[in-house]
């Protein structure tokens, strides 16, 4: 499997808040150019870290309450959660290497 799954307001509690281990959520929107640049990188990371990191995507236009709850002002924003708690955040299009460095640090 390994592909990034979709998370929505209705599934947030089960998929993120109650999740054990590291969860990475890509906050994005269809109209966002930088989000489209990051999307294939997020998919690659979902495959590379399958079994170690849960990788999810949240459409901010369809789930504004979650985006507001986590103070997402710019997209793409990748927010990292561990055992349901926010532990890190990357804002803006970043290189795959930057994402991997962050994930590896959080897994260590």
Catalytic residue among 35, 41, 66, 103: 35
Nearest alpha-carbon partner for 54 in 105, 108, 103: 103
pLDDT at 1: 44
Residue 35 designated active-site: yes
Q: With 90 as the cut, is the pLDDT of residue 3 above it? A: no
pTM across the whole model: 0.95
Where does the pLDDT of residue 2 fall: very low under 50, low under 70, confident under 90, or very high at 90 and above?
low
* Element of type H or E holding 39: helix 33-48
Nearest alpha-carbon partner for 72 in 35, 17, 41: 35
Taking residue 20's Cβ as centre, other Cβ atoms within 10 Å add up to 9
In SS3 terms, 56-73 reads as EEEECCCCHHHHHHCCCC
Catalytic residue among 16, 25, 32, 72: 32
* Domains parsed from the chain with CATH numbers: 5-107 (3.40.30.10)
Q: Are 87 and 80 within 8 A, CB to CB?
A: yes
pLDDT at 18: 96
Task: Measure the N-to-C terminal CA separation of the chain; round to a whole number of Å.
Answer: 24
Residue 107 designated active-site: no
CA distance 106 to 63: 26
Q: What is the pLDDT of residues 45-79, one digit of tens each?
A: 999 999 999 999 999 999 999 999 999 999 999 99
């Amino acid at each position: 499997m390994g592909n990034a799954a979709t998370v929505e307001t209705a599934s947030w509690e089960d998929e993120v808040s109650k999740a054990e281990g590291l969860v990475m959520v890509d906050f994005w929107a269809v109209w966002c150019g930088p989000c489209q640049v990051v999307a294939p990188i997020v998919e690659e990371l979902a495959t590379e870290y399958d079994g170690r990191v849960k990788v999810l995507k949240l459409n901010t236009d369809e789930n504004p309450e979650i985006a507001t709850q986590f103070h997402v002002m710019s997209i793409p924003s990748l927010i990292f959660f561990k055992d349901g708690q926010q532990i890190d955040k990357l804002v803006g299009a970043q290189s795959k290497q930057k994402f991997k460095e962050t994930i590896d640090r959080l897994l260590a």
